[in-house]
Amino acid sequence: MESQSLKVVWTDPAKSDLQKIYEYLSEISVIVAENQIYRIIDRVELLEQGYAHIGQKEPLLKGHKNEYRYLVQDNYKLIYHQIAFEIVIDMVFDTRQNPKKLSGNIVS
């Protein structure tokens, strides 16, 4: 069965999350920072290929109007939802943070 290709849209908060990750890791090594960002983007490409339901439903966001799902890449949860043929990346959440911060960062 062929999957429908989807357009991926990164929200401004998600882009900001990537930037913060890059800035933090680049203090250790620019190569480490670049590799981490590439791994995150590669993971999102699965969604673009039409596998929107590959991620698990995010239980901490179940009270919102959108059905939020997530993929995990290393220490990061890639939080997203689908609208028609678009995948919206809402945030890149560092799982080493308090999970309660997750629901406070989503605008629905």
Residue 2: inside a domain, yes or no? no
Number of domains, the chain: 1
Rounded Cα–Cα distance for residues 102 and 30 (Å): 27
Note the pLDDT tens digit of each residue in 30-83.
999 999 999 999 999 888 888 888 999 998 888 888 899 999 999 999 999 999
- The mean of the pLDDT values for the chain is 88
Domain containing residue 11: 7-104
pLDDT recorded at residue 69: 95
Residue 55: inside a domain, yes or no? yes
Q: Compute the average pLDDT of residues 92-102.
A: 79
